[in-house]
Amino acid sequence: MSASIQARLKLARDDFTLDVDLQLPGRGISALFGHSGSGKTSCLRCLAGLERAASAYIEVNGEVWEDSARGFFLAPHKRPVGYVFQEASLFPHLSVRGNLEFGWRRVAPEARKISQEHACQLLGIGHLLARKPATLSGGEAQRIGIARALLSSPRLLLMDEPLAALDSARKREILPYLERLHDELDIPLIYVSHAQDEVARLADHLVLLEQGRALASGPIGQTLARLDLSLAQGEDAGVVLEGVVVGHDPHYGLFDLRLPGSEGPLLRIAHPKLHVGSTLRLKVQARDVSLALTADTASSILNRLPVRVRECRAADNPAHVLVSLEANGNALLARITRYSAEQLGVQPGQRLWAQIKSVALLG
């Protein structure tokens, strides 16, 4: 049986109802995304057992934690969950080492999945062990909070907007450490955020929540490209692509990136230093994709991909349209003028060339 997380939850309050049926991958990072009040934190609290839904079924990689139909409820302290909040909430009277040992000592030696040394190495906090929380920056404190959660040897890691209380510099400091957790640990992580840039950089799977309902759930690349969702609207709309670096042109400082399923044209990325064989994640903004009937090489645009039109819809601006594209199984979005769409005769199934003006390297 493949690893998966199932969460069917119905929770009613005076002014809010949560009603979701989530099927999430049992590995990697799943992001719960939506505006404040959409139900993101309520989902996490139900998963952790901190809030009891009237109707609930929760199963994590084959282990049932809650089944209201059978009257079964695993108490919060018995759920193997690591929970990271917006604030690190460290014990002020303990050193960093004491904070880390608090959770670690509560796990039986034979059940420990990660050592203190490994947690310190993953989060880059080895030099902070003798410090007290009052002397730490916000980013340092949050990294220690994450390490403390890991040392409880969880089977599921929950993060509730862990970067929301940090300024942009501290966010940039901590994001690479979250990526390391994704790359080096086999612990599923559910990440709550209302910041699309964080989600694009970290998540494998995306759930869009609105007013207590899941409007969409699926792989991030496909979900961001859905024209029926609000994610495709606005100036920041775009898709996430992952590829492997397969070549390097040292004369021009360009790296060749091959996308999954693609044996044809490569993306070329200008970057001072990348390693051949490494996997990269990119964001391509819809506004940075133009369309053409032919592969026009007489242009300064470096990247062109053959694409097929999947769908075309009106944008939030009446002068624009959004075009959903498929490039050898990879989703793209283009935001073009309605005039251009009519001149090109854009319609589903049409073969075109996507001209990508720029890409943003994530991480």
pLDDT at site 265: 64
- pLDDT at position 113: 87
Q: Fold identical between 4-230 and 238-362?
A: no
Of 86, 77, 22, 34, nearest to 193 by C-alpha is 34
Look at residue 233 in the predicted model and tell me its pLDDT. 86
> Is 178 strand, coil or helix?
helix
Q: What pLDDT sits at residue 65?
A: 97
* Residue 152 burial class via C-beta count within 10 angstroms: exposed 0-12, middle 13-18, buried 19 and up: buried
Q: Is the Cβ–Cβ distance between 72 and 64 less than 8 Å?
A: yes
CATH topology assigned to domain 238-362: OB fold (Dihydrolipoamide Acetyltransferase, E2P) (2.40.50)
pTM of the model: 0.90
The per-residue pLDDT string of the chain (363 residues; one tens digit each, 9 = 90 and over) reads: 468 999 999 999 888 999 999 999 999 999 999 999 999 999 999 999 999 999 999 999 999 999 999 999 999 999 999 999 988 889 999 999 999 998 788 888 888 888 999 999 999 999 999 999 999 999 999 999 999 999 999 999 999 999 998 888 889 889 999 998 888 888 999 999 988 889 999 999 999 999 999 999 999 999 999 999 988 888 889 999 999 999 999 999 899 999 887 776 689 988 877 888 988 899 999 999 999 999 887 888 989 999 999 999 999 899 999 999 999 889 999 999 999 999 999 999 999 999 999 888 886
Q: What residue spans define the domains of the chain?
A: 4-230, 238-362
Architecture of domain 4-230: 3-Layer(aba) Sandwich (3.40)
pLDDT at 264: 65
Exposure pattern of 101-138 as b/e (b: 16+ CB <10 Å)? bebbeebeeeeebbebeebbebbbbeebbebbbeebeb
Q: What is the pLDDT at residue 266?
A: 83
pLDDT given at position 197: 87
